[in-house]
Structure 1
Amino acid sequence: MVSRKILVLGASGLIGRFVTDDLRLRGFQVFGVARQFSPSQRQSAADLELPVMSMDAAALSRLIWEREIDVVVNCLGVLQDGPGSDTGAVHRDFVARLLAAIRDSGRPVRLVHISIPGAANEDRTAFSQTKREAERLIAASGAAYAILRPGFVVAPAAYGGSAMLRALAAFPLQLPAEEAATPFQPVAVEDIAATIAWLALRDIDDAATRAVAWDMMQPQPVTLSGVIDQFRWSLGTSRWPRVTMPAFLLDLGARLGDLANRLGWMPPMRFTAIAELRRGVTGDPSGWMEATGIVPKTIAQAVGGHVATIQDKWFARLFPVKALVIASLSLFWTVSGFIALFISYSAATGILSSHGFPPSLIGPVTVLTSLTDMSIGVLIAFRRTCAIGLVAGILASLGYMVGAAILTPDLWIEPLGALVKTGPAIVLMLVALLIMDNR
């Protein structure tokens, strides 16, 4: 094998992580770069945590030069603008700096850029428009490049849209007829990795591969409903009766997803995701297939090659429930504190008074606990502080239970069982903590 050193940008993502690991197994020396890797992804000293989006062209050029990179694979991408996410900065501005870095590195480097399929005149979202702007920058740069436009990516891992389709398959829900009939050509992530490996072995001066743009997906037509049906078969839910959801639920879900996005979360159901879903995923993979000789896996081969394991089933079922758990816990703490402080203050203080609580402490304790509850609810609502809020909620609940056992033990046997119900709330917060990981 011809020795090649490959730099994968975005090596913690769905495509980037698989490609990094696959190329290493094929014998390439691969440096994976991401802003942050999860603990389970830190498998090699060649995985580098770098603030890649804030690196200028000079810093990127040094990275390429010092590690003698031959191929740069750019898998960076964000779905929608939001806190910490800027489609223009990631898709367009970064690519401009990357092209300058490749030019200034003084090395013969091939850029492999992951883009999106579809006609440019159908681009309606900032996501697709900035992706297309990056393609134009690359094509005009004079660099050796391959623009890969994969369809819906099927991988062993599941993030974002791929997780959402698995979740739909795990429940007896059917998409509205129009969305269900949307053309949706998939591609197996293994075929993407095989293509990048094939390109890495080509000479950079090879005219046939110096400047190419390929759609990558199965050539057989398939609809979104057909893709979900394959996941249903794998999960064992294909024979379940289904309820067709009304179209307005998708729009409502997108609005709620956009609201969650403002709080730092990255739900798969957002305005851009629904817009791109309704646009469909189509392309012509014939150029890619003829050039590389790769016969892409069909959706049946990619998904139907194995029956879902128990962890696949649990993930698909829990994925949509996670959002419900976080939202309900945030509302539970915020509303309970608000009610005690502003609506039922006299009733809250009356409970303490009727149980012999020192009068001088009744008001301050009621105010303090109410503010604590609301603060916990707000902490849980924001993605960056959610784990802190959940831990604080567990500690506060335990504190309330211990304090009541010492100061007002008869509350444990009051008819509505308010303190008894605190135990299941603690368990739910623990469950939320255990499913916080995104990748």
Structure 2
Amino acid sequence: MSVTPNPRILVLGASGLIGRFVTDDLRRRGFHVVGAARKFSASQRVSPLDLQVPILSLDASAMAGLLVAHDIGVVVNCLGVLQDAPSSDTGAVHCEFVARLLAAIARSERAVRLIHISIPGSADDDRTAFSTTKREAERLIAASGVAHAILRSGFVIAPSAYGGSAMVRALAALPFELPDKDRATPFQPVAVEDIAVTIAWLAARPLDEDATRAVNWDLMQPQPVTIAGVIERFRIALGTSRLRRIALPRMLLDVGARLGDCVSYLGWMSPLRSTALAELRRGVNGDPQAWMAATGIVPKAIDDTIGAHGASIQDKWFARLYLIKALTIASLSLFWVASGVIALLISFPATTAILTSRGWPDAIATPFAAITSMMDISIGLLIAVRRTAAFGLVAGIVVSLGYLIGCAIFTPDLWLEPLGALVKTGPAIVLMLVALSTLDNR
């Protein structure tokens, strides 16, 4: 096997929080980087070298062909899922895929270094499927004989936000406080820039160098910090450190995590799920000294990572709206379903009476009332499912406008009813526009 002095790099999971930053950063440093992901958002398609492929469905032969076709010398695996759900399987992503990837590297008959992003902590503390499968992947890599570096990153702080990092920003922006026991949890962060620098450093090392042939490093700032300290630093940046806060009961967090588990079956990846809560309470800590000594990298402290300057307006809006987005989707879904159910099962005679009193024949008024009621229920159900939410919101806006125009033509007196039901449709349309505007996750 030959050793490539300036190897081409394949980043798996190049649409994710770490993967996207690493891909762009390595390209800025002059590396030839192929970014691969199951799906890129429109804003992420910045290079013809970004490949949209069903990575997790590829067998070892197909992956080996990908490595050979692009002359890959370094593979960076940033793939990971937090929790088992209909669209994600921790065992399949963390173990089965890694086993196929190792087989692909062997089949390619090339000199390839595998850089694998993992989690810190001790195997003795692993309690979730997320952590146990991540640790099993480490064991598979260590036993493979492939040149590798396992990077156990701390709590990642990046310019963008997703999942846990978005939740921390939201907690910093809103007037809520974690329970005392959770606030004291160790939570050592790492700047995503330090992860990218480490990968670049490893990619430039000779593959046959003994010191970097098989390494396992904790990547995080050495200074101890708690989750309360991380949140407080975001509060300073967001200008919310002086807000009076309400302490959240631990039971409320448990209930929220269970609700997050439930909505995952509808396709929504809530940052607050039972695994996320368990991992948060376990904490994030480790010993970065081996990493620092080997690379000479001095990791950024949290004050430098978040920055000494205040947050931008888009940072503030995101932090404030992040949790409200979930509330908006839930309320709109319930609004449409409840509206349809009430009209169909409770006030159906009153609805048809309104139409017949204005000259509509019974043969038209009854099916019209039934169809519109079922249409409302359908819109609510469409909004509730992540894959169809955008279509449901657009349909809700169109139908609402149709109701307004239809009532203006056929029943204009309803605009003057005491409770002003039609008048309230306008703000509902605006709320659906807000929900539609915040649907993106990446």
Task: Output the TM-score relative to the length of structure 2.
Answer: 0.98
Match of 2:222 among 215, 219, 223: 219
Q: Does 1:419 align with 2:422?
A: yes
Match of 2:304 among 301, 307, 320: 301
AA of the residue aligned to 2:180: A
Could you tell me how far apart the structure 2 residues matched to 1:354 and 1:229 are?
62
Match of 1:44 in 2: 47
AA of the residue aligned to 2:239: G
Structure 1 residues 226-262: Cα deviation after superposition (integer angstroms, max 9, x where no partner)? 0000000000011112221111111011011111101
Larger deviation, residues 337-346 vs 314-323: 337-346
- Aligned in 2, Cα 1:318/1:33: closer, same or farther, shift over 3 Å? same
Match of 1:94 in 2: 97
Q: Does 1:175 align with 2:163?
A: no
AA of the residue aligned to 1:257: G
Larger deviation, residues 236-245 vs 293-302: 236-245
Match of 2:130 among 127, 132, 141: 127
Could you tell me how far apart the structure 2 residues matched to 1:304 and 1:42 are?
28
Match of 2:205 in 1: 202
Matches within 5 A, 1:28-67: 28-67=31-70
Match of 1:292 in 2: 295
Q: Is the 8 A contact 2:177 2:245 kept in 1?
A: yes
Could you tell me how far apart the structure 1 residues matched to 2:69 and 2:218 are?
33
Could you tell me how far apart the structure 1 residues matched to 2:93 and 2:441 are?
20
Q: Is the 8 A contact 1:233 1:304 kept in 2?
A: no
SS at 1:390's partner residue? helix
AA of the residue aligned to 1:395: V
Could you tell me how far apart the structure 2 residues matched to 1:153 and 1:415 are?
53
Could you tell me how far apart the structure 1 residues matched to 2:358 and 2:186 are?
66
Q: Does 1:264 align with 2:267?
A: yes
Q: Is the 8 A contact 1:204 1:210 kept in 2?
A: yes
SS at 2:210's partner residue? coil
Could you tell me how far apart the structure 1 residues matched to 2:441 and 2:142 are?
34
Larger deviation, residues 347-356 vs 425-434: 347-356
AA of the residue aligned to 2:399: A
Match of 1:138 in 2: 141
Could you tell me how far apart the structure 1 residues matched to 2:390 and 2:136 are?
38
Report the CA distance between 1:307 and its aligned residue: 1.5
Could you tell me how far apart the structure 1 residues matched to 2:413 and 2:321 are?
37
Could you tell me how far apart the structure 2 residues matched to 1:340 and 1:354 are?
17
Q: Is the 8 A contact 1:357 1:407 kept in 2?
A: no
Report the CA distance between 1:353 and its aligned residue: 2.9
SS at 1:356's partner residue? coil
Matches within 5 A, 1:364-403: 364-403=367-406
Report the CA distance between 1:359 and its aligned residue: 2.4
Task: Output the TM-score relative to the length of structure 1.
Answer: 0.99
Could you tell me how far apart the structure 1 residues matched to 2:408 and 2:26 are?
59
Could you tell me how far apart the structure 1 residues matched to 2:45 and 2:410 are?
49
Could you tell me how far apart the structure 2 residues matched to 1:306 and 1:39 are?
30
Match of 1:25 among 4, 23, 28: 28
Match of 2:159 among 150, 156, 162: 156
Could you tell me how far apart the structure 1 residues matched to 2:258 and 2:356 are?
45
Give % identity: 69
Could you tell me how far apart the structure 1 residues matched to 2:430 and 2:34 are?
41
Could you tell me how far apart the structure 2 residues matched to 1:229 and 1:424 are?
35
AA of the residue aligned to 1:125: T
Q: Is the 8 A contact 1:182 1:224 kept in 2?
A: yes
SS at 2:199's partner residue? helix
Match of 1:186 in 2: 189
SS at 1:153's partner residue? strand
Q: Is the 8 A contact 1:8 1:72 kept in 2?
A: yes
Q: Does 1:13 align with 2:16?
A: yes
Could you tell me how far apart the structure 1 residues matched to 2:132 and 2:321 are?
33
Could you tell me how far apart the structure 2 residues matched to 1:350 and 1:317 are?
45
Q: Does 1:251 align with 2:282?
A: no
Match of 2:314 among 311, 314, 329: 311
Unaligned runs of 5+ in 2: none
Match of 2:407 in 1: 404
AA of the residue aligned to 2:150: I
Could you tell me how far apart the structure 1 residues matched to 2:108 and 2:198 are?
25
Match of 1:338 in 2: 341
Match of 1:105 in 2: 108
Could you tell me how far apart the structure 1 residues matched to 2:309 and 2:156 are?
17
Match of 2:286 in 1: 283
Could you tell me how far apart the structure 2 residues matched to 1:306 and 1:287 are?
31
Q: Is the 8 A contact 1:139 1:211 kept in 2?
A: yes
Match of 2:237 in 1: 234
Report the CA distance between 1:2 and its aligned residue: 4.4
AA of the residue aligned to 1:428: L
Report the CA distance between 1:361 and its aligned residue: 1.3
Q: Is the 8 A contact 2:5 2:206 kept in 1?
A: no
Could you tell me how far apart the structure 1 residues matched to 2:69 and 2:276 are?
38
SS at 2:236's partner residue? helix
AA of the residue aligned to 1:87: T
Match of 1:435 in 2: 438
Q: Does 1:326 align with 2:329?
A: yes
AA of the residue aligned to 2:28: L
SS at 1:148's partner residue? strand
Q: Is the 8 A contact 1:77 1:91 kept in 2?
A: yes
Report the CA distance between 1:158 and its aligned residue: 0.2
Backbone CA RMSD of aligned residues? 1.0
Match of 2:71 in 1: 68
Match of 1:348 in 2: 351
SS at 2:76's partner residue? strand
SS at 1:208's partner residue? helix
SS at 2:242's partner residue? coil
Report the CA distance between 1:355 and its aligned residue: 3.5
Q: Is the 8 A contact 1:10 1:76 kept in 2?
A: yes
